[in-house]
């Protein structure tokens, strides 16, 4: 059943564009999703819990920091990372988000900008899922405008031993309440720098955001830094300016372009299966023109979005992927995935509003995904500047 569904979903034979290792990895992650996420996600979601046993399992699956080389990281290709993200988000965006925060944000920041000592201390155990990282960039009053960052780290003393005193507020920080280490971005007298703040550092207050209508099986937090004293070793030596966090955001956005199509595909497949078995006026719903129109438009956009994600992945593996291309992928694929999940939900009738079926959960999750790492508007204006040469942000 699952096999044949997949085949009719793959109208354009996109599978023929994947190599055997890519297909193998996909099967492996898909199995994980079918066995570990699918049977439990409704409960996790209703109860608003992130399953603490999952990080170690995902580490074993090999999807944490999977595109990084060395330090115990899997060292897979960008396409492989994308394929895995798609299957995980076919499970739940919140689970894929954990993988993105851990691998594309926290681990990538350390891998790219950290000292040798920092890398060795954190990366292997993060790749294994034994330690959890988070990435504190967004601030309460500046979701789409990181350049107005108000968090500040001032030098604490002078000379090589001089540490830092960090103050400020962050919001929407994924996994912060369970993180063993935070990558924190703050202004300094030398511009924006990154810091590693271990769990338990005095002066750090973390409050999970509750009463969420989206990604309830995930965690996002408010974090307040109240004159937090950090030693000199807390600084990420390699990152200077906004380029530091932005390069991590681009990693995450790339994964999102794939992931969103997973949520879309899962929504579509649920609707297709329901439409095939639900009878109305003596015929399966799938036999009505109004239903077919919906299903066809869904599958078309899923296929186009997947083709786009794969194209981006091939460019990335060739070292030729540009930020505006990632913006195109994130903007398009999340936007279309939301439309698809919503349309799928309508095919399910009243049953579609329960957690027994995935489309409405996916649609709600994707509202978070749409917002984080750049809203539709932000990516539209990034692309607008690229094609016209004129900025229109202000």
Among 58, 64, 295, 340, binds its own copies (CB under 8 A): 295
Contacts of 24 (CB under 8 A, 6+ apart): none
* SS3 state at 339: helix
Segment contacting its own copies (CB under 8 A): 58-66, 178-186, 210-218, 225-233? 210-218
Site for its own copies in 44-103 (CB under 8 A): 46
CB of 342 to its own copies, least distance (A): 8
Segment contacting its own copies (CB under 8 A): 78-86, 162-170, 241-249, 287-295? 287-295
Q: Which is nearer to its own copies, 178 or 286 (CB)?
A: 286
Q: Which is nearer to its own copies, 163 or 284 (CB)?
A: 284
Q: Contact between 208 and its own copies (CB under 8 A)?
A: no
Of the candidates 80, 89, 336, 373, the residue annotated as catalytic is: 373
Q: How many residues does the chain have?
A: 394
Q: Contact between 282 and its own copies (CB under 8 A)?
A: yes
Q: Contact between 169 and its own copies (CB under 8 A)?
A: no
Q: Contact between 42 and its own copies (CB under 8 A)?
A: yes
User: Phi then psi for 208, rounded to 5 degrees?
Assistant: -60, 140
Q: Contact between 383 and its own copies (CB under 8 A)?
A: yes
What does R_g of the chain's alpha carbons equal in angstroms? Answer: 21
Neighbours of 296 (CB within 10 A): 11
Q: Contact between 159 and its own copies (CB under 8 A)?
A: no
User: Phi then psi for 136, rounded to 5 degrees?
Assistant: -105, 95
CA dihedral defined by 59, 65, 67, 69, rounded to 10 degrees? -100
**Catalytic site includes residue 139:** no
Q: Contact between 374 and its own copies (CB under 8 A)?
A: no
Q: Which is nearer to its own copies, 35 or 148 (CB)?
A: 148
Site for its own copies in 96-155 (CB under 8 A): 138, 141-145, 148
CB of 268 to its own copies, least distance (A): 9
Q: Contact between 279 and its own copies (CB under 8 A)?
A: yes
- Confirm if 135 and 109 have CB atoms less than 8 A apart: yes
The DSSP annotation for 257-323 comes to HHHHHHHHHHHHHHHHHHHHH-EETTEEGGGSHHHHHHHHHHHHHHHHHHHHHHHHHHHHHTT---H
Contacts of 276 (CB under 8 A, 6+ apart): 284, 285, 286
Question: Bridge-partner residues for 283, per DSSP?
Answer: 280
Q: Which residue carries 């959960």 as its tokens? A: 361
Q: Contact between 283 and its own copies (CB under 8 A)?
A: yes
CB of 113 to its own copies, least distance (A): 25
Q: Contact between 207 and its own copies (CB under 8 A)?
A: no
Distance from C-alpha of 340 to C-alpha of 307, rounded to nearest angstrom: 16
Neighbours of 24 (CB within 10 A): 13
Query: What is the end-to-end Cα distance of the chain in Å, rounded?
Result: 51
Among 27, 57, 226, 293, binds its own copies (CB under 8 A): 293
Residue span 302-321 as binding mask against its own copies, x where in contact by CB under 8 A, dash where not: -xxx-xx--xx--x----x-
Annotated catalytic residues are: 373
């Amino acid at each position: 059943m699952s096999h044949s569904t997949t085949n009719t979903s793959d109208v354009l034979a996109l599978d023929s564009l994947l190599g055997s290792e890519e297909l193998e990895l996909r099967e492996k992650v898909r199995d994980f999703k079918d066995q570990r996420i699918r049977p439990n996600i409704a409960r996790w979601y209703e109860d608003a819990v992130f399953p603490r046993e999952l990080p170690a399992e995902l580490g074993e699956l090999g999807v944490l920091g999977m595109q990084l080389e060395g330090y115990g990281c899997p060292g897979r290709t960008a396409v492989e990372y994308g394929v895995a993200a798609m299957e995980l988000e076919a499970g739940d965006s919140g689970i894929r988000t954990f993988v993105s925060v851990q691998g594309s944000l926290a681990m990538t920041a350390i891998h790219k900008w950290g000292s040798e000592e920092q890398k060795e201390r954190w990366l292997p155990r993060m790749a294994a899922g034994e330690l959890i990282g988070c990435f504190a960039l967004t601030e309460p009053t500046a979701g789409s405008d990181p350049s107005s960052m108000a968090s500040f780290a001032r030098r604490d003393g002078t000379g090589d031993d001089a540490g830092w005193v960090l103050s400020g507020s962050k919001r929407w920080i994924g996994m912060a309440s369970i993180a063993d280490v935070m990558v924190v971005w703050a202004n300094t007298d030398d511009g924006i720098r990154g810091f590693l703040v271990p769990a338990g550092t005095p002066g750090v207050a973390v409050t999970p955001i509750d009463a969420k209508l989206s990604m309830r099986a995930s965690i996002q937090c408010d974090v307040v830094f109240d004159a937090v004293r950090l030693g000199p070793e807390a600084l990420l030596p390699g990152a200077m300016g906004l380029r530091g966090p932005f390069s991590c955001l681009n990693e995450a956005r790339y994964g999102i372009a794939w992931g969103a199509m997973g949520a879309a595909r899962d929504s579509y497949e649920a609707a297709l299966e329901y439409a095939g078995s639900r009878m109305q006026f003596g015929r399966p719903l799938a036999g009505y023109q109004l239903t077919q129109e919906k299903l066809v438009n869904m599958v078309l956009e899923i296929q186009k979005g997947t083709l786009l994600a794969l194209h981006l992945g091939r460019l990335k593996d060739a070292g030729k992927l540009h930020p505006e291309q990632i913006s195109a992928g994130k903007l398009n694929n999340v936007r279309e995935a939301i439309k698809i999940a919503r349309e799928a939900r309508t095919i399910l009738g009243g049953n579609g509003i329960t957690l027994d079926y995935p489309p409405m959960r996916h649609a709600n999750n994707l509202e978070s995904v749409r917002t984080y790492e750049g809203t539709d508007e932000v990516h539209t204006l990034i692309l607008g500047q690229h094609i016209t040469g004129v900025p229109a942000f202000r």
